[in-house]
């Protein structure tokens, strides 16, 4: 599988994750992105032994787009700190069901993850295990009963965008888990990691990468015109 590289140096590897492959190994046993990239580095650099590559953040299996990996333990710990301090800008593109009323807004919810069922749900702020989830959205277009959004994550909770938009009454197009009542099996989820921007953990220069979804429905209602 050819995985597009968006940025690479001795410390970081940023790639465009294909849709429908897991970021790391799971119970499915399917080839995962982390393993594929380690194998690729081993071949490209003719490296003996094990290749170090660490996950910095995650994307859900059906979601595609820009994702960062660390090639050294120093870069990994510094990138983890950037995320903790909310100093990595993460912009997603999303298509949701229905016409979103407000042109822009901030959503604040409290989320709990049921790890056994791999599902996230909203809760009261004081509930045990509930974590604050914040995102900002801007409407980029409305058409055919759908709304095209730019979403900026402030926090990075599991399934956050999917749950918060569904809770708002506008589940993602194609999301079978949090929008099964309006989506059909087989529809590809319309959520894409579009832009990442942060200060390089070692070089201290600004790194910005972008990635865009393929020219397929529903993205092509607005993109690639």
74 domain-assigned: yes
103 is catalytic: no
pLDDT digits (tens, 9 = 90+) for 148-195: 999 999 999 999 999 999 999 999 999 999 999 999 999 999 999 999
136 domain-assigned: yes
154 domain-assigned: yes
Give the count of domains, the chain.
1
The yes-or-no verdict on residue 144 having pLDDT over 60 is yes
223 domain-assigned: no
Long-range contacts of 83-88 (CB under 8 A, 24+ apart): 83/56, 83/57, 83/156, 86/154, 86/155, 87/198, 87/199, 88/57, 88/196, 88/197, 88/198
pLDDT digits (tens, 9 = 90+) for 66-116: 999 999 999 999 999 999 999 999 999 999 999 999 999 999 999 999 988
17 domain-assigned: yes
> Would you list the DSSP string of 68-96?
EEESSHHHHHHHHHHHHTT-SEEEEEEEE
The pLDDT, as a whole number, for residue 126 is 87
How do 146-153 and 64-70 pair as beta strands? Answer: unpaired
114 domain-assigned: yes
> Would you list the DSSP string of 158-213?
TTHHHHHHHHTT-PBTT-TTT-TTT--TTPPP-EEEEEEEEE-TTT--EEEEE---
The pLDDT, as a whole number, for residue 132 is 95
Give the domain CATH number at 199.
3.30.2350.10
225 domain-assigned: no
Q: How far apart are CA 178 and CA 167, in angstroms?
A: 9
221 domain-assigned: no
The pLDDT > 70 percentage for the chain reads 100
Global pTM value: 0.95
Strand partners, 128: none
The pLDDT, as a whole number, for residue 30 is 83
Choosing from 26, 30, 32, 60, which is the catalytic residue?
60
What is the extent of the structural domain holding 16?
Answer: 5-216
């Amino acid at each position: 599988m050819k995985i597009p590289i968006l940025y690479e140096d001795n410390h970081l590897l940023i790639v465009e994750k294909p849709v429908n492959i897991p970021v790391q190994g799971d119970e499915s046993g399917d080839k995962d992105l982390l393993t594929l990239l380690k194998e690729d580095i081993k071949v490209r650099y003719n490296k003996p032994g094990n290749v170090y590559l660490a996950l910095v953040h995650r994307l859900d299996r059906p979601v595609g787009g820009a994702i960062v990996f660390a090639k050294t333990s120093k870069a990994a710990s510094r990138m983890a700190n950037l995320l903790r301090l909310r100093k990595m800008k993460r912009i997603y593109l999303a298509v949701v069901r229905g016409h979103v009323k407000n042109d822009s807004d901030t959503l604040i919810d409290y989320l709990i993850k049921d790890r056994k069922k791999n599902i996230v749900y909203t809760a009261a702020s004081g509930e045990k295990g509930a974590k604050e989830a914040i995102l900002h959205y801007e409407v980029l277009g409305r058409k055919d009963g759908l709304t095209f959004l730019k979403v900026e994550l402030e926090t990075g909770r599991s399934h956050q965008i999917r749950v918060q938009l569904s809770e708002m009454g506008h589940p993602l197009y194609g999301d079978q888990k949090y929008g099964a009542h309006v989506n059909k099996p087989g529809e590809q989820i319309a959520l894409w990691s579009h832009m990442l921007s942060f200060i390089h953990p070692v070089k201290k220069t600004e790194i910005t990468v972008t990635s865009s979804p393929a020219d397929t429905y529903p993205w092509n209602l607005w993109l690639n015109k």
